[in-house]
Amino acid sequence: MKKRELDSCPICHNLNIDDEESFLDDLKCAFRYYEKNDTIVLQGQLCDALYVLTIGKVRAETVSENGAIINVETVDAPRPLAPAFLFSDNNRFPVNIIALEDVEVIVIPKSEIVRLMMTNPDFMQNYLAHNANRTQFLTSRLQLLSIKTIKGKLAHYLLEMARNTDQPFIVDKNQSELAELFSVARPSLARSLSEMVQDGIIQIHRREFRILDINKMKNLIV
């Protein structure tokens, strides 16, 4: 593994220099290469090694029991794939992972990961931090989805983006992306937005938003 790749990986960056040589020397790992549309991991497959996506882009999809694709997520290198599942009691991949372009994956056996953690505190904390951040992401996503109305979701989302100021701010998603994030239909989202504008709660110009009435906004979150 080259140093460049090492540094760019979220669980391998900022490691103590002294450790880095021994870190690299003995690491047992396999390099795998895939082409577009290759299947890298099959849903349900045993997960006994860490898959680190170092080059390229993949799609992670959940397939329901009748074959319909429920959930899709695109993952860009560099990132570990499903690092939490390596240590879970039910250690099987929850998704299919498919190459969207030419891809390099480094496969590191679980035993090696454990060894690295035991010998390198920085690596261990990186790993923990990465999983922790993932948990936080999932928690906030769950909180968003458990708000029942579209306006409630918008209020929650926009208040976070605005950070308690009444200054205008730019939202980095278009309506379609927002609708997907909220798991609602795009025209419904547009309707809710225009109703909030009519009610004098917000102002919108393209992707620039401004909160006019913070209290009404907060009351939308039930």
Partner DNA sequence: ACGTACCTGTAACAATTGTTACAATCTAAT
Partner DNA sequence: ATTAGATTGTAACAATTGTTACAGGTACGT
Binding residues for a second copy, rule: CB under 8 A, are: 62, 64-66, 68, 70-71, 84-91, 94, 114, 117-118, 121, 124-125, 128-129, 131-136, 138-143, 145-148, 156, 159, 183, 215, 218-219, 221-222
Least distance CB 193 / DNA (angstroms): 6
How far lies 17's CA from each of 80, 159, 167, in Å?
Answer: 22, 42, 44
Subset of 120-149 contacting DNA (CB under 7 A): 148-149
Residue of 42, 72, 118, 185 interacting with DNA (CB under 7 A) = 185
Sequence-distant (≥ 6) Cβ neighbours of residue 179 within 8 angstroms: 185, 186, 188, 189
Report the partner that residue 65 touches, choosing among a second copy, DNA, none (CB closer than 5 to 8 A by kind): a second copy
Least distance CB 81 / a second copy (angstroms): 13
- 90 or 198: CB nearest DNA: 198
Q: What angle do CA 157, 135, 3 make, to 5 degrees?
A: 110
Instruction: For residues 9 and 14, give the distance between their C-alpha atoms in angstroms, rounded to a whole number.
Output: 10
Report the partner that residue 192 touches, choosing among DNA, a second copy, none (CB closer than 5 to 8 A by kind): DNA
Which helix (H) or strand (E) segment is 32 a member of? strand 30-34
With 0-12 CB in 10 A as exposed, 13-18 as middle and 19+ as buried, what is 96? buried
Residues lying near DNA in the complex (CB under 7 A) are found at: 148-151, 174-176, 183-194, 204, 206-207
